[in-house]
Amino acid sequence: MLIAGNWKMFKGPAATAEFCIALRERELPPSVDVVLCPPFVSLAVAVQLLAGTDIAVAAQNVHWEPEGAFTGEISAPMLREAGVYGAIVGHSERRQYFGESDEAVARRARAALDAGLSVIACVGETEAERESGQTEAVLRRQVSVLEPDEQLVIAYEPVWAIGTGKTATPELVGEAHALIKSILQVPVLYGGSVKADNAAELLALPDVDGALVGGASLQVDSFVSICQSATR
C-alpha cells in the first residue's frame, strides 16, 4: 500500500522542514510506503530531513530530456542527484493549466523510469467526460500511452473530485481501477479529495493500492491518519 502526499504549490523550505521534523516523530505503519511530493524548492530540505527514515521524497513533475534549453523544467538526472526517489507525471492540473498531452506525459514517465526514478502517472476524466459517457475511452487513451514498468504506479484521479470536496463513490472507484488494471498491470492509487474520514473506505476496495493525497497531506495529523488507514 502506497500513500503519497502531493503538496502542489504549498510549503516552501521552512514549512517543509517543520512538517518533516514533526512527521519523523510520528509512528507510521511499517506495511505502508509513504512518499512526500513537495515543490521543487523544498525537495532538498525534505530529502535531508527524511534521510534515514522509510519516508521517500518525490517531485511533482520531471522533464523528458536529461538537460537542455528548457527554462523552468527539471530533469530526471537532476532529481537523482538531489536524492529524490521519484516523480509525479501527468497530474490533471498539469494537463488542464499547462496543456500537457498524453504524449508529453508518456515521454516524461519514460525518461524518469529510464533514469531509475519511480513514477506516479496520473489519469482521470473530467466531469463533462463522465457525464457524456466517455470515462472508459478517456482512461484507455491516457493509460495506453504508458509502458509497463516495475517502478510505475498509476493514480486514478477523477478531475471533478480534485480539490472540490467531491469524492467518487466506492462503486465508481472500483470500476475505474479494475478498468485501468485490465489495460496495464500496475498498482493503482486513488486520488480525489482523499481525507482522513473517507480514506479507510476507499483504501479497503480490492483494486485500490493506495492514495495520492492532496490537501489532506498538508497537515501532519490528517496525513498520518490516512497512512494508518492503509494497513490492510
Residues 22-74 have pLDDT tens digits of 999 999 999 999 999 999 999 999 999 999 999 999 999 999 999 999 999 99
* Pairing status of strand 152-156 against strand 33-37: unpaired
**Strand (E) or helix (H) holding 225:** helix 220-228
Q: Are 222 and 216 in contact (CB under 8 A)?
A: yes
Catalytically active residues, by annotation: 91, 157
DSSP state, residue 10: -
pLDDT of 223 strictly over 80: yes
Q: Are strands 210-213 and 55-59 parallel, antiparallel or unpaired?
A: unpaired
pLDDT digits 0-9 by tens, 79-105: 999 999 999 999 999 999 999 999 999
Domain definitions of the chain by residue range: 2-228
* pLDDT score, position 137: 96
Question: Over the Cα atoms of the chain, what is R_g?
Answer: 16
| Pairwise CA distance, residues 214 & 194, whole Å | 7
* Topology (CATH level 3) of domain 2-228: TIM Barrel (3.20.20)
Tell me what percent of the chain is helix, strand and coil, each rounded to the nearest 5: 40, 15, 40
pLDDT grade for 232, boundaries at 50, 70 and 90: low
User: What's the rounded mean pLDDT across residues 195-224?
Assistant: 95
Which residues are CB-contacts of 140 (< 8 A; sequence separation ≥ 6)? 179, 183
